[in-house]
Amino acid sequence: MMALRRALISTQHVCRPILQPRYWPARSLAAVAGSSTGHVDVSLDETTGIAILRMNKKPVNSLNLDMLTELTIALDKLESDNRCNGLVITSAVPKIFSAGLDILELYQPERGRLAEFWRALQNFWMKLYASPLAPAAAINGHSPAGGCLMAMSCDYRVMASGNYTIGLNETLLGIVAPFWFVDTMRNVISQRHCEKSLQLGTMYTSADALKIGLVDSLVSDTDTVEAARQELLNWLKVPGYARQLTKEQMRKPTVERLAARQDQDIENFVSFLLKDSIQKGLGRYLESLKKPKK
């Protein structure tokens, strides 16, 4: 758990029109199948049309500007290849899916860099949440804050049944989850569970996450990817165009809420995070990480 504590467990322009029908020409598969872009490894099974994306940014798959850029590029390439219809997102790092936003992007930042980082997070979320692919999260470890957001943005969530936790715990660090984090969680679990979770910064065990609908199924630690892949095989039996348009009806209003106020959201976030009280709180958190765990 010490590795997990070393990352922040937190927290105008969409790359393409929301959920457009996928009739574009395929790019070279060499840019996708069996490829690696630093901390993101991607493979594509052309027989099933399902790609596996493994995050491999040790120690905890924290989301900094570079990582968000790599993830967005990888997703864009997969969406642009007409041999890919489904996507499993998982982790190559043991016992961690993603620890969320990198605290080093948030503590004593340069204002321009912070704004760029937040826009990168917005763009990645909009692309994943509205993806014409069928993404499934194979949550094979802890998934706090930004990791939870990524999982909730997928169409299906399989979680390892081990001693892992998942949730949006921003309030525990004195940070307020932005409205689009809230919208995403509200669209997954009940309003009441969402209110309690966000106000208390609750981290749910795998079993409790299943009970409230935050995840869809539990399997053993080693079976998450295969379970997600098997689930997607059922999703891909549905005619793609019908599935995509149905997803658009459900998710487009949520994405458009952020797209319409993207710049305002960046300004609000930057102004909030640069407050002395917030920076001091993050500083205390960083100092606490240096102390040996009792």
DSSP state of 47: T
- Enter the tokens of residue 118: 């937040």
Q: 173-195 burial, b for 16+ CB within 10 Å, e for fewer?
A: bebebbebbbbbbbebbeeebbe
Active-site residue identified among 170, 218, 248, 273? 170
Strands 50-55 and 86-91: parallel
In the annotation, is 101 catalytic? yes
Residue 99 neighbours by CB distance under 10 Å: 29
In the annotation, is 146 catalytic? yes
CA angle (87, 92, 98) in 5-degree steps: 80
Q: Which residue has the tokens 């009739």?
A: 23
Edge-to-edge strand list for the sheet holding 165-167: 95-96, 141-144, 165-167, 204-205
CA distance 254 to 60: 29
In the annotation, is 112 catalytic? no
Active-site residue identified among 147, 169, 173, 214? 169
CA distance 236 to 252: 21
Active-site residue identified among 44, 63, 68, 101? 101
Active-site residue identified among 49, 100, 141, 146? 146
263: number of CA atoms within 13 Å, CB side? 2
Q: Which residues are catalytic?
A: 101, 146, 169-170
